[in-house]
């Protein structure tokens, strides 16, 4: 396999973007990524676009073609990738593999979703398509309710409290305040979370990621190409993916996401690092309980100690492992197909020292963790300042 680097990143502001359509968002993110990389569209050899459900949200399928068309990239190959909320992470992985395997040298990986053109009920039904339609959504389950079941079980087994869940949201809103691209730039308190409207008990409004429009894009290059274009590449040291049962009830655990553990183990092994080596991580906090499970499954804390870690202020901006410096899905927003690419963009900026007010000092190793559905698809990437972390 050849070495691959990220050499540019761009994204739109996430939020309710009613003035723009999907194509305008794609162009905004894509052009910013090309400008960041210092390359022209005519140099790009392939495009991979993460999108979960353009057809059900806005009646638009064929998103690969749409993105290539409006970005002026025709006639290069352009491919849409779908893996529910992990669509972006998987598009990034496909772009990585296409270069590592020798097919291309300069590729764009993007992600996009336009979710706010429909009412919340319709968005909930569409998102429910990522669960098991016959055994979960048909019987009334929604994503908030599926994650609420995991939260209940985690509270039962490990004593995790609603206050600890709230602390995840408070931290991520603090980080979102420093991110000009974030949907919510608003400080909240534990009391605000506890007093917010119940959505699926014990999860309340402020435990949930929102419904969001947005796009993000990154430029990937082979080692040879990257060294020609920039002195400041960010290397992809590992890419790993794992799958699990579609439905929660068939899972081996309700308090962890086993595919996260498997993908993370593979990623750490490939990169030659331990969890404690990570300086900055963008993890999949679609609900506050999801971030607690993520920090446990990624090995940042022992199983069951995630909740307590938030009381101790672990994972805040500038701590040993800063988690969700972008504001995470909770505050930055969660345009499902774009999230995985936004995570890579945030880690890229942190590792390059370009993260503005939310920059953490001396970030060298970053991790992204993108989950599809309630854990049926997980994609983990390790990125760093070093082409080979074993020789750092």
Nearest to 56, CA basis, from 125, 112, 120, 110: 125
Q: Which is nearer to ligand COA, 104 or 143 (CB)?
A: 143
Active-site residue, 85 included: yes
Residue in 36, 94, 209, 324 binding ligand COA, rule: CB under 6 A: 209
**Spatial separation of the C-alpha atoms in residues 78 and 91, rounded to whole Å:** 11
Which structure tokens are listed for 191?
């009391």
d(C-alpha 12, C-alpha 368), whole Å: 19
Binding residues for ligand COA, total number by CB under 6 A: 16
Give 350's DSSP letter: H
Out of 154, 173, 284, 334, pick the active-site residue: 334
- How far is Cα 231 from Cα 387, in angstroms, rounded to an integer? 13
| Contact flag: residue 14 with ligand COA (CB under 6 A) | no
Residues 6+ apart with CB under 8 A from 391: none
Q: Which of 124, 161, 245, 319 touches ligand COA (CB under 6 A)? A: 124
Nearer to ligand COA, 37 or 146 (CB): 146
Binding of ligand COA at residue 335 (CB under 6 A)?
Answer: no
184 binds ligand COA (CB under 6 A): yes
- Name 80's bridge partners: 49
SS (H, E, C) 291-306: HHHHHHHCCCCCCCCH
Q: Does 120 bind ligand COA (CB under 6 A)?
A: yes
- Residue 149 binds to ligand COA (criterion: CB under 6 A): no
Rounded Cα distance between 360 and 385, Å, is 15
C-beta closer to ligand COA: residue 172 or 384:
172
Residue 208 in contact with ligand COA, rule: CB under 6 A = yes
Q: How far is the CB of 305 from ligand COA (least distance, A)?
A: 24
Residue 133 binding ligand COA, by CB under 6 A:
no
Site for ligand COA in 32-71 (CB under 6 A): none
Query: Which CB, 65 or 205, lies closer to ligand COA?
Result: 205
In this structure, are residues 300 and 291 in contact, taking their beta carbons and an 8 Å threshold?
A: no
**Among 27-35, 58-66, 152-160, 206-214, which window interacts with ligand COA (CB under 6 A)?**
206-214
**SS3 of 101, please?**
coil
Report cis status (omega within 30 of 0) of the bond before 75: yes
For residue 279, give Cα distances in angstroms to 65, 107, 239, 392: 37, 27, 17, 15
Buried b (16+ CB within 10 A) or exposed e, 172-181: bbbbbbbbeb
Does 195 help bind ligand COA (rule: CB under 6 A)? no
Stretch that binds ligand COA, among 66-74, 103-111, 156-164, 202-210 (CB under 6 A): 202-210
Tokens of 354: 């370009």
Q: How far apart are CA 95 and CA 93, in angstroms?
A: 5
Q: How far is the CB of 117 from ligand COA (least distance, A)?
A: 13
Q: In the window 72-101, what residues touch ligand COA (CB under 6 A)?
A: 85
What's the per-residue H, E or C state across 151-216?
HHHHHHHHCCCHHHHHHHHHHHHHHHCCCCCCCCCCCCCHHHHHHCCEEECCEEHHHECCCCEEEE
- Known catalytic membership, residue 249: no
Helix axes 143-158, 120-128, angle to 10 degrees: 70
Closest residue to ligand COA in the complex (CB) = 120
Site stretch for ligand COA (CB under 6 A), options 64-72, 201-209, 303-311, 318-326:
201-209
Nearest to 109 by CA among 69, 57, 67, 56: 67
Question: Which residues, 274 to 293, sit near ligand COA by CB under 6 A?
Answer: 286
> Which residue of the set 85, 208, 286, 332 is catalytic?
85
Nearer Cβ to ligand COA (8/372): 372
What is the per-residue binding string for ligand COA in 226-265, x denoting contact by CB under 6 A?
Answer: ----------------------------------------
Cβ 246 vs Cβ 376: under 8 Å: yes
Find the binder of ligand COA among 65, 118, 205, 258 (CB under 6 A): 205
Give catalytic residues, as residue numbers.
85, 334
Task: Report the interface residues with ligand COA, using CB under 6 A.
Answer: 85, 120, 124, 127, 143-144, 184, 199, 205-206, 208-211, 286, 334
């Amino acid at each position: 396999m050849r070495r691959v680097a990220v050499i540019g990143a761009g994204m739109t502001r996430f939020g309710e973007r009613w003035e723009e359509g999907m194509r305008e968002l794609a162009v905004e993110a894509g052009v910013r990524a090309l400008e960041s990389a210092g390359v022209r569209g005519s140099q790009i050899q392939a495009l991979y676009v993460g999108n979960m459900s353009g057809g059900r949200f806005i009646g638009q399928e064929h998103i690969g073609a749409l993105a290539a068309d409006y970005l002026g990239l025709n006639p290069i190959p352009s491919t849409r990738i779908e893996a529910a909320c992990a669509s972006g992470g998987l598009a990034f992985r496909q772009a990585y593999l296409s270069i590592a395997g020798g097919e291309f040298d300069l590729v764009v990986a993007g992600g996009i979703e336009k979710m706010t053109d429909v009412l919340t009920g319709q968005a909930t039904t569409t998102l429910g398509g990522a669960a098991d339609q016959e055994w979960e959504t048909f019987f009334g389950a929604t994503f908030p309710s599926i994650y609420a079941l995991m939260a209940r079980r985690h509270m039962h087994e490990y004593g995790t409290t609603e206050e600890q869940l709230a602390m995840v949201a408070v931290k991520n809103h603090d980080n979102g305040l420093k991110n000009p691209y974030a949907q919510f730039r608003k400080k909240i308190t534990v009391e605000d979370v506890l007093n917010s409207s119940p959505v699926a008990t014990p999860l309340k409004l402020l435990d949930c990621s929102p419904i969001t429009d947005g796009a993000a894009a990154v430029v990937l290059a082979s080692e040879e190409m990257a060294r020609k274009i920039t002195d400041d590449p960010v290397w992809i040291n590992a890419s790993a993916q794992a799958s699990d049962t579609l439905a929660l009830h068939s899972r081996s655990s309700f308090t962890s996401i086993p595919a996260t553990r498997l993908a993370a183990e593979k990623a750490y092994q490939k990169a030659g690092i331990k969890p404690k080596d990570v300086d900055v991580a963008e993890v999949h906090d679609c609900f506050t309980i999801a971030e607690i499970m993520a920090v446990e499954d990624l090995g940042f804390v022992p199983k069951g100690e995630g909740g307590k870690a938030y009381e101790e202020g672990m994972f805040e901006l500038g701590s040993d492992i800063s988690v969700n410096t972008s504001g995470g899905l909770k505050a930055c927003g969660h345009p499902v197909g774009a999230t995985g690419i936004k995570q890579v963009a945030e880690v890229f900026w942190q590792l390059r020292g370009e993260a503005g007010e939310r920059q953490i000092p001396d970030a060298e190793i970053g991790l992204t963790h993108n989950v599809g559905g309630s854990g049926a698809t997980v994609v983990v990437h390790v990125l760093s300042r070093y082409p080979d972390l074993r020789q750092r």
